[in-house]
Amino acid sequence: MKGKIKSNTSCVRFFTLMIALTLSNAPTLIEAKLADRGRIVKARKDRSKASLLMNSRVYNTNTIPSRQIDDNPIEGPKYRGQQRWNAEESNQLRDENESTGNQFTDMPLGEFERELSSQLTGCCYNWQSYSADSLCYKYGQNCATGAEPSNDSSDSDCGMEGLSFIGISFSVNTASGNPYSYQLCDQFPMENIIDRTYDYAMSLDEDGWLVGGGYKSFDYSGKMPYIDSSHTELIRIGALDADYGGTTIDQVYSAMSSISFAPLGVFPEYVKGGGNGGSGDDDSEVPSGDVTLVVSVVEEFEDNDNYSLYEQFLDNIFNAMDAVNGGPCMDDHDTDPHVSMSRGLKFKSSYHEEQYFYSANLEVAVWQSMYPNGVVIGSSGKANFPPENASKNRKYVGYGNLYFFFDRANITKAFPANRDLYSSESYYSTLTQSDVSAYYSKTTSISFDYSSGSGDSSYYEHNPYAWNAGMAMHDMTDGWDLPPNCDQEGETFLGIPLSRKSGSKLQTTSTFQNQFDFDSLVDRNFTYMKSFGTNHGWLVGEELNNGPGSIVDKDTAHIPVFYTGTTNPNMGGMALSSIIKVLKNLNFGTLYIKPAFLFQDEDGAVKLQFEADANSALGYLYDNLCKMLGLSWNYNTPSNKADLYTNCAMHASGDRASYGCGPDNTNSGGFCPQMTIAYAVAFQSEDHAAAFFSKGNDYVDYWRSLYPSGVAVGTNNFCKNGGCLGLFLNRYDLYQVFKPDLGGSWVEYNGATLAPTISPAPTYTNGCKDSRNSHLDKCFMRSHPRNASAVAWNSLGPVGQVSVYLLSFMAVTLSLSIFLARARKKRRRGESYVSFLVRDIRNGNRGGGGGKKKKSKKKKRRTKNRDLEEDMLGGGRPPKPHSSRSQSKSRSKSRSRRPGESSSSKHRSSSKVREGRSSSKSRDGRSHSKGREESSSSKGQESRSSSKVREGRSSSKAREGRSSSKAREVGSSSKRHEEQSSSKRHEERSSSKRREEGSSGKSSSKHRSSSKRRSKEGEHRSRSSSRRKSSTSGEERSSSSKSGRSRSRSRSRSRREGASRVAKPDEDTMAKRQLV
């Protein structure tokens, strides 16, 4: 029975599925209809719970009371936001499923395991099919409406509101402020009326104090490093774009140059508070407001004038502006003179507020006692404008100048007064150059009323324990609510840098990514927007000479991830070096981001939301930052290896990415990746705002299709592989960059760089053994180990790798040099280098096999008889075809000189010696000179016998002195003939030498008659030479010399007898011998 029911149920399901598929594939008929009232009736009958949550900015909070259910919107922005109702319904359904606990029971476990690409190669898979507009409502935002200006200009011809003006500067340069601030006011020490040490103030907006010298780049508070911008406006010029009703800079310069004005005096009135701060807080928070120094322009009258000098100046400047065709955006009246000191200031309590205003106004009371009738503002220093030329061509500032402010922080031109100061005016203007301590000692009370407008009169006190993790979603135009044990705010944070350089931005902008061009999301031509609520314009880079006169900032685009707070350890913060130390040990994966939608938040800021994927590497990074640097909160405490912590972070240690914003998260934490594009933007109308966001989200949809799995941003010169984390001193200054997977870090501040982390993500038990943890960084790296050679190569770093390349190059070039040198020496004639290389390799292989016996280099026998090594003849003779393996020591000594040898024998012997000398390369110059000396002395038989010995040695290069003594004694007939012919050929060459030797050379008989005398001298010389240079003992040398002389005599006789018996060879034989 159960089987039949189950089969019937399966059939029903099958047919239902087939019908649904058929209907889905059916053609859709599109037809046009006239507008009817059906949607109005439907909207009035709507009683769903989701309709009560329409456009709610607080999750699960009704915006329509029950008594107004029948008044549901039927048109306008709230009606256009009806797509959000479905999103609210889906969120409620998800909450109900989670509460029942049955959401995952019928689904396999693999459905909920994170995809590997979500951690290592991407993110944001759950909402890939959603458009930017649909995803906007999923996140609880409204992308169809925008804020409108609260006080619109009455002149409809002005299409752009601007902030340029003409006024008086109160800028000072102080030791604690920005070193590039101008010193234009010697009269009022403005640093005495601000609370730089946070004795009374708890926090301010990101600009901090606007007076008193500005801020340094490494200030503990992390405020924007602007120069002192204190001033008072006299005339608001407004926009500078003539196409939108503005007045150009050239027109302003021309008008100011055409008028004349006297030095204007200024009188300080009092310091007051008031206003709603940056965004206007409700009663549940500490109130925030602005602080202002009220001043007045001294009204001076000349004789018989009904209008003061100041009123005359106003009339003249307005007339001059009309004369140059100034635009309608310029104010037609003067402003109330005041000096804006700060915005979004929050005091610690109402008591601290009272104390601050009393202290500041007491300083103003001293100024009033010093300048009872006001004072002309100026300085005795030097300066030049605009700020980028401040250090060039500096000129004397003087007193009574008016300045044109392109924006609050940029003075572009100074206009001097038409006369010098009177003596009375000069006295007060230069009073601070002398000792003024007497004025401070005698002023102990405040004689004027400053209570009007000086902040909130009701009692309040900051409760640090009311802090919550959601406060990390902060409006930067307002002050922070600090957590417990934190005495100073700070703007330092960790985030992803997204700025880039383009033609419309300042040249100081650095390029940190090439994936997104955020210029597509801004309205520089004011087509849709009307004005900015602050002095800041587009934060993704403002143009030089922009129309509204916004502060010309470089591109500061970024995604803040984790606010670390102040870097002052004495105020509860964490030193910059400590933050870097902790982050260098932080293991995180490559950070992927994906744009979601463009919208305007409740504070009026235009932002680009990125998908808040809690399971991405960015979500894991946030979790670990909270664990390591978050606040001790709700029984959760941070922990890190460096044991360094802060009390001023704006995130709790127990906070997690899953508590952040987005449809997948609980919307109660501080994880919400957003990029602020502009503060407090006011659009021309609601329709203009809807059109702006519609066009902007079209670009976002393009990026979503381009990067469906997100993208790790970077460039070829910055974070080449993408996904880096940056440490920002403030929105303006990126200081340190950390690469993922513990890839190192480097300094990026001001373009300077130094040499260059894999996250312990949330895991199941049993570590990497659990298959559900296999997608995590740590487990993935264990299962996919990196190549050891790649790790070793990367560990060398750029310097080591270059060194290896250099050594390899040097080794190759050295090998080539050695080969070329060897080839030039040993290659055959006409043989190429390649052929020589092949032959050389073959010979080397054959020799290495052992088949060919390696030649041993023969050492030259050392002899002490240098006479026997002389090369007597230069002609030389060819070596013998065979070599004698033995060489007797006594061979040369056995050849004795026999007196009475014939002259022809001597000549033959002498010529042979010279031939042997020319053919031998092992004879040195010493033997040659010695041979000449012996030849010239004509020592008879001994000389001939010695030359005969040297002839035998020089007959072959490789056979020094190895000829057989027997061969020399016997001699062949052909050899004697050859010697005779050689002697005749050489006779002419040696005739001159023989004449110098005293020999007549005319007849052989004379040689024979003197042979006995030379023989005796030769015997004596031979004996002395034998004693000096023989390597044997003295006795052997003596006996050898005697036997040698006897053998020499007999050999000479046999030669003479043989010469007479042998017939003269024919001419052919002689020619062959000469050739050989």
| pLDDT tens, position by position, 690-720 | 999 999 999 999 999 999 999 999 998 899 8
Look at 276-290, 598-612, 806-820, 844-858 and tell me which has the smallest mean pLDDT: 844-858
Mean pLDDT of 86-101: 50
Closest alpha carbon to 954 in 928, 984, 990, 982:
928
In percent, how much of the chain has pLDDT > 90? 39
If you average pLDDT over each of 385-394, 539-548, 611-620, 844-853, which comes out highest? 611-620
Q: Are 607 and 598 in contact (CB under 8 A)?
A: yes
Mean pLDDT of 571-578: 93
Q: What is the DSSP code (8-state) at residue 882?
A: S
Q: How far apart are CA 1046 and CA 941, in angstroms?
A: 11
In percent, how much of the chain has pLDDT > 70? 61
Query: What per-residue confidence (pLDDT) applies to 931?
Result: 42
Question: Which residue's entry shows tokens 């329509």?
Answer: 64
For the four alpha carbons of 484, 485, 489 and 490, in that order, the dihedral sign comes to: negative
CA atoms within 13 A on the CB side of 311: 8
Structure confidence by residue, pLDDT tens digits, 70-82: 444 444 444 444 4
If you average pLDDT over each of 81-95, 850-864, 1023-1037, 1055-1069, which comes out highest? 1055-1069
Question: Which residue's entry shows tokens 């040490």?
Answer: 197
Q: How far apart are CA 119 and CA 115, in angstroms?
A: 7
Query: What per-residue confidence (pLDDT) applies to 549?
Result: 66
Where in 356-501 does DSSP place strands (E)?
A: 375-376, 378-383, 395-399, 402-407, 410-415, 493-497
What share of residues in the chain are helix, strand, coil (percent, to 5)? 40, 10, 50
Q: Are 214 and 181 in contact (CB under 8 A)?
A: yes
Look at 257-261, 442-446, 723-727, 967-971 and tell me which has the smallest mean pLDDT: 967-971
Position 909 confidence tier, pLDDT thresholds 50, 70, 90: very low
Query: What per-residue confidence (pLDDT) applies to 740?
Result: 92
CA dihedral 400, 406, 410, 411 (to 10 degrees): -20
Query: What per-residue confidence (pLDDT) applies to 852?
Result: 47
Query: What per-residue confidence (pLDDT) applies to 943?
Result: 40
Look at 255-264, 565-574, 768-777, 946-955 and tell me which has the smallest mean pLDDT: 946-955
* Bridge partner list, 349: 461
**pLDDT tops 50 at residue 529:** yes
- Residue 851 to residues 839, 843, 846, 858, Cα–Cα distance (Å): 16, 11, 7, 21
Query: What per-residue confidence (pLDDT) applies to 862?
Result: 56
Query: What per-residue confidence (pLDDT) applies to 746?
Result: 87
Structure confidence by residue, pLDDT tens digits, 404-461: 998 888 899 999 999 999 999 999 999 999 999 999 999 999 999 888 665 556 889 9
Structure confidence by residue, pLDDT tens digits, 235-267: 999 888 888 888 999 999 999 999 999 999 999
Structure confidence by residue, pLDDT tens digits, 937-958: 444 444 444 444 344 444 444 3
pTM: 0.61
Look at 13-17, 75-79, 128-132, 674-678 and tell me which has the smallest mean pLDDT: 75-79
**pLDDT tops 70 at residue 865:** no
**pLDDT tops 90 at residue 172:** yes
Comparing 784 with 939, the larger pLDDT belongs to 784
343: left (phi over 0), alpha (psi -120 to 50) or beta: beta
Assign 840 to helix, strand or coil.
Answer: helix
Length of the chain: 1076
**pLDDT tops 50 at residue 826:** yes
Q: What is the DSSP code (8-state) at residue 458?
A: S
Name the strands in the sheet holding 606-610, side by side, starting at the edge strand that comes first in the sequence. 595-600, 606-610, 674-678
Mean pLDDT estimate for the chain: 74
**pLDDT tops 60 at residue 104:** no
Q: How far apart are CA 1023 and CA 1019, in angstroms?
A: 6
Query: What per-residue confidence (pLDDT) applies to 911?
Result: 42
* Bridge partner list, 494: 562, 727
Closest alpha carbon to 775 in 110, 119, 126, 109:
119
Comparing 1042 with 468, the larger pLDDT belongs to 468
**pLDDT tops 50 at residue 46:** no
Neighbour-count burial of 778, counting CB atoms closer than 10 A to its CB (0-12 exposed, 13-18 middle, 19+ buried): middle
**pLDDT tops 60 at residue 32:** no
Q: Are 593 and 618 in contact (CB under 8 A)?
A: yes
